[in-house]
Structures are given as structure tokens and as C-alpha cells.
Amino acid sequence: MNKKTVMTELIMEQARTWYVRMGSELAGADDWALFTDWLEESPLHVDAYDQVELSLSAITAPALDQEPALVQDNAVQENTVQERADNVVPLFTKPNNIPENKSPDQSVADKKRPKIVWARYAGIAALFVAALTVFYSSNFSSQPSVQTYATNIGGQEAIVLADGTRINLNTNTQISVAMTKKSRIVTLASGEAFFDIAKDKKRPFIVNARDVRITDIGTSFSVYSTDTALTVSVVDGIVDMQNGDQTTRVIKGQQAVHNRGDNNIALRAIDVESISTWRDGVLIFEDAELATIIPELNRYFETQISFSDEDVADLTFSGVLNISDQSMMLGSMEALMPIKSERENGQILLSSKN
Amino acid sequence: MPNTQRDILTAVYLEQRPALLRFLCARLRNTERAEDVLQDVYLKLTRTNLPPIIDNPSGFLFRMASNLALDHIRKGKRARLRDQAWSDLNSEKSGSQFRADIPHADDALIAKERLAALNTRLQTLSPKAREAFKRHKFEGQPYKQVADEMGISIGTVGKHLGKAIKHIMDADLGDKNYG
């Protein structure tokens, strides 16, 4: 065995130890943080872990294609909490190069408070009635402080950042905000947000949405991100959209659409009055087919609307729909179009009236 | 009724999001792909059926993230191998180590064959280690259940699993003359 082989074997042994440790249903956020530390230490660690996981991948296909088996009945749960403190220690063969201050033993001590943690989560869940939750993530001092905001389906929220920037979140949306001395970066993880940016020449305002970076040049605009497309609509001022090495400038009254997997960004004119009307609880449609309207409306409600026949899909609609109340919205649609709605199996079915 | 499983998980997800992202960045070595997988985690937890009781919700989320990251790695590897099959023909990488990920007209058959090879390999493992490995990996039993039903400690379960994984990997790397 030469030195390199010994090194490789050593790292492999660590990788296997971590694999076994992380495979435990008892591994908590603290353990995952330590594991992340180890992965970050060296690319060789990641390589080794890849090898461990891939060598077992034959099993992944037929037998383990489901979520980890963390389901337990209540009777066992009581015991599990006890077991953690007593039994978890010997499992963690200490990987060789973990610094002392990240000792696995410490995380074992942390495990003695699972119940309290659980109670806290239940409390947090209760707050969800308010539709918006804010969490600070200061766990990792090496990272800039990131603040996360989210809305549920049907929720909306207005946020004012420390610099005076206003952000409106539409339904089912998630963003994170990282403010540093040199930049203001928002990541739109999903959904739609409207930005009214406070000018600050020293700190550019950047919105990252999937593979596109939007840089603001003092303006207000909306960004809507779905699995298939990214849409940016500018109400005032100018933004630059950057994907790869291509930059597209979008100005007031323009809408830019970037389809996923396509490098082009298509520009078209748009009435600024029609941008982000959801902020006022309404959507405006002009000569739009129900087939395109329904998916748009369904973004706002848990109870999904579907239609039974093609005749309904082909109907066109022009007008304003109230998205703050689903029954009211359906009432307007029934009054303005030859359709009726029925509730069925937790869904709403639209069909022709005649 | 705000305290549903999904609400609790969503709350934990939001609290753990930076830590999940940090883990995924480290695991996938790519921020963009990490964001994608994180998004998949979110979709999965908001759109799919969840187990009725989830003890350790943060662990559940991290493992979900870890599994989805592995899917991503395997898909990427498969695509890369497809593109570069010719260049790898004579290199070490065409060795058995990555054999499972080479695309094939009949992936299911390959998976079956690999599983059979794995089973054969397990025959030369100590019975206790084999049993622990099969219970956890094939039947999806949590460590606690394996420990209880085999009448051993959770720590011993971990030791058995580590031994089994090394045994399997040694077979995979056999032709590479390690040590």
C-alpha cells in the first residue's frame, strides 16, 4: 500500500461511516450539518461518498424507491425518544478528521431535546394561519444572513425591506433575501413576486430565478417563475435579464418570457395597468380562453377547478375576476358565461349550461 | 386545523431551508442544481402524500433531499456516460464501479442482474451483518426496528451495515487492485 492508497482507504472508511450514520432515522439537523461540514472539507470526500451511494444503487431501483422509513406508530414513539440518548452513541464511529469542536458526541447531547423541538414546530405551524412566516437563518456564521419569506396557496404578503424596497408575494411563493454591504440579492424559489426597488447606486438589486439573473436599474417589475417559464413584466424603469452569457434589456411596458431549456428571451408589449393586478385581489382577462384562464385561477385556491368538455375549454372571457373569494369568483363566471359549476370529490367541475 | 403534518413539515422546511441548501450545494457541487433539488423537495412535500406520522421531521426532509440529490447524480452520470462512452471505453471508469449507470435498452433487466449479483455477494457476509443489511435496505426497516427484532443495539446495527457496505464495495473495486 502506498500513501495515496492509504489516504483513499481512510476517506472511503469515513464515507461509509457517514453513510451509515445518515441512513439512520434518528439523524437530525445537527448530524446533517456535521455531515455537510465533512463534504465541504474536500472534493475527495464528495467523490468517496458518491462511490458509496452508487455502489448500492442496485438496491435503490427495485426496493428503496420510497421515502425513508420514518413512519412509526405512537406506541413506539415514546420509546424512540428514550433510545436516542442511550443507544445512539456506539453507532457513531468517529470519522478520523472531524475537528474536536464538531465532535459527534456533542450532537448526541443535542438529541436529548427532541420533544421540545417538536413542540416548537407545532407552535410555528399554528402561525401559518397568518399565511406568512419569517425565519432567520443565522446557524452558519460563515454564510451571509438570509431571510426567507413564503406564502401558502391563496396567500399574499407585502414586505418592506430595510432599504425601503417593497416586495409583494403572490400565492404559493417563496423567496429568500440576502442583504450585504455590497449587494441586495433576492432568490425567487417559486411563484410570483412584484418588486418596487428603492434606489441605491452602491448596492445593485439582483433577483435570481432559476437560471436567470435579473438586475434592476431603479424600477418596479414583477417576476413569475414556473417549471416551464419565467416571465418578467416591467411597470417602470429598466431591468436586465441575464441567462448564460446573454443579456436582454426589458423596459417599461414590456414583458419578457423565457421558456426553460431555451436560450431565447421573447419580448412583447404589455399594458402596465394589467401587471400584477393580483395585488388588488383581481385578475384581468381580455379575450382569453377558459383553457388558459383556469390554470391561472387554480394558482390561488386549494380547491381546484376543472372542466368536463371541450366546449367549456374553448369559451373566451373578457373581464375582471375577484380572486379573494372563490365562490364569488365562480358566481361572476357563471353570470358572464354559459357555464355552471358543481362541487364533486373536493373539486369544482365546470360544464356547459345547456 | 393548522397542525397538519404538511404544515409542520413546511414550517420545518422553511426553518431548515438554508441548511438544506448548504447540504445540497456540498453534495452536488453546484448551486444551481442544488436549488433545483431543493425545489423538488418543496414540491414533493407540498404535493405528494406524506406518511401519517413523521417523527424527526427535519431528518425526514434531509433524507428526502439526499435521496433526490442521488437521483440527480445518477441521472447526470448516466447522461455523461452516454455522451462519453467512447472515451471511457479503455479507462478505469468503464470498470464495474459504474456499471449500473451505463444506459441500456433494458434497464430493468440490468437492475435485476445487479441485484442478483449483490445477493450473491451478500452470501459471503457474516449472517448477522447480512440480516441487518437486508432488513434495512431491502425491507426499509428503520434502525430501531432492526435492532429490536434482532435483539441487538442500534450501534451494532450500524456496525453491521458498515461491514456489509464495505463488503459490497470491495467486490465492486476488486478488479482495481486496491491495496
Residue A28 contacts B, CB cutoff 8 Å? yes
Residues of B in contact with A35 (CB under 8 A): 23
Lowest mean pLDDT among A138-142, A301-305, B129-133: A138-142
CB contact under 8 A, A77 and B138: no
Going by pLDDT thresholds of 50, 70 and 90, the confidence category of residue B83 is low
Residues of B in contact with A51 (CB under 8 A): 97, 169
Residue A261 contacts B, CB cutoff 8 Å? no
Does one domain contain both A152 and A247? yes
Residue B30 contacts A, CB cutoff 8 Å? no
Compute the mean pLDDT over every residue in chain A, rounded to the nearest whole number: 75
For strand A133-137 and strand A229-236, is the pairing parallel, antiparallel, or unpaired?
unpaired
Identify the three-state secondary structure at position A138. Answer: coil
Asked if residues B100 and B169 have their Cβ atoms less than 8 Å apart, the reply is no
Residues of B in contact with A63 (CB under 8 A): 137-140
Q: A70-91, pLDDT tens digit by residue?
A: 333 333 333 333 333 333 322 3
> Given a cut of 80, is residue A6 above it in pLDDT?
no
Does one domain contain both B25 and B43? yes
Does one domain contain both B52 and B111? no
CB contact under 8 A, A128 and B10: yes
In a domain, A121, yes or no: no
In a domain, A176, yes or no: yes
Does one domain contain both A46 and A150? no
Does one domain contain both A321 and A244? no
Q: A224-251, pLDDT tens digit by residue?
A: 998 889 999 999 999 999 887 888 999 9
Residue among A16, A87, A88 minimizing CB distance to B166: A16
Residues of A in contact with B51 (CB under 8 A): 67, 70-71
Q: A45-54, pLDDT tens digit by residue?
A: 899 999 999 8
In a domain, A220, yes or no: yes
pLDDT score for B13: 92
Dihedral, CA atoms, B38, B41, B47, B50, nearest 10 degrees?
-160
Residue B150 contacts A, CB cutoff 8 Å? no
Distance from CA of B6 to the nearest CA of A (A): 9
In a domain, A119, yes or no: no
Does one domain contain both A220 and A343? no
High-pLDDT (> 90) share of chain B, %:
41
CA distance A138 to A145: 6
How many CB atoms are located within 10 Å of the residue A251 CB?
A: 14
Asked if residues B18 and B34 have their Cβ atoms less than 8 Å apart, the reply is no
Going by pLDDT thresholds of 50, 70 and 90, the confidence category of residue B41 is very high
Residues of A in contact with B161 (CB under 8 A): 20, 23
Does one domain contain both B66 and B121? no
> Given a cut of 50, is residue B26 above it in pLDDT?
yes
Going by pLDDT thresholds of 50, 70 and 90, the confidence category of residue B82 is low
Residues of A in contact with B137 (CB under 8 A): 56, 59, 63-64
Q: List the domain range (segments joined by +) for residue A9.
A: 3-110
In a domain, A118, yes or no: no
> What are the cell numbers at B144?
430501531
pLDDT score for A59: 62
Of B95, B123, B152, the residue at which a domain comes to its end is B95
Residue among B19, B32, B144 minimizing CB distance to A83: B144
Does one domain contain both B56 and B119? no
pLDDT score for A130: 33
Going by pLDDT thresholds of 50, 70 and 90, the confidence category of residue A132 is very low
Q: List the domain range (segments joined by +) for residue B136.
A: 104-179
Determine the residue of chain B that is closest to A77 in CA distance.
Answer: B55
CB contact under 8 A, A62 and B11: no
Tally the domains of chain B.
2
Residue A302 contacts B, CB cutoff 8 Å? no
CATH number at residue A150: 2.60.120.1440
Residue A63 contacts B, CB cutoff 8 Å? yes
In a domain, A67, yes or no: yes
Closest of B14, B21, B16, B6 to residue A133, by C-alpha:
B14
Measured between alpha carbons, how far is residue B130 from residues A3, A96, A167, A255, B164 in Å?
Answer: 32, 26, 56, 60, 7
Tally the domains of chain A.
3
In a domain, A261, yes or no: yes
In a domain, A194, yes or no: yes
Residue among A16, A83, A146 minimizing CB distance to B165: A16
How many CB atoms are located within 10 Å of the residue B173 CB?
A: 17
Residues of B in contact with A16 (CB under 8 A): 162, 165-166, 169
Asked if residues A143 and B18 have their Cβ atoms less than 8 Å apart, the reply is yes
CATH number at residue B152: 1.10.10.10
Interface test with B, best of A36, A94, A143 (most B CBs within 10 A): A36
Does one domain contain both B4 and B58? yes
Interface test with A, best of B6, B14, B139 (most A CBs within 10 A): B14
Lowest mean pLDDT among A111-115, A164-168, B55-59, B136-140: A111-115
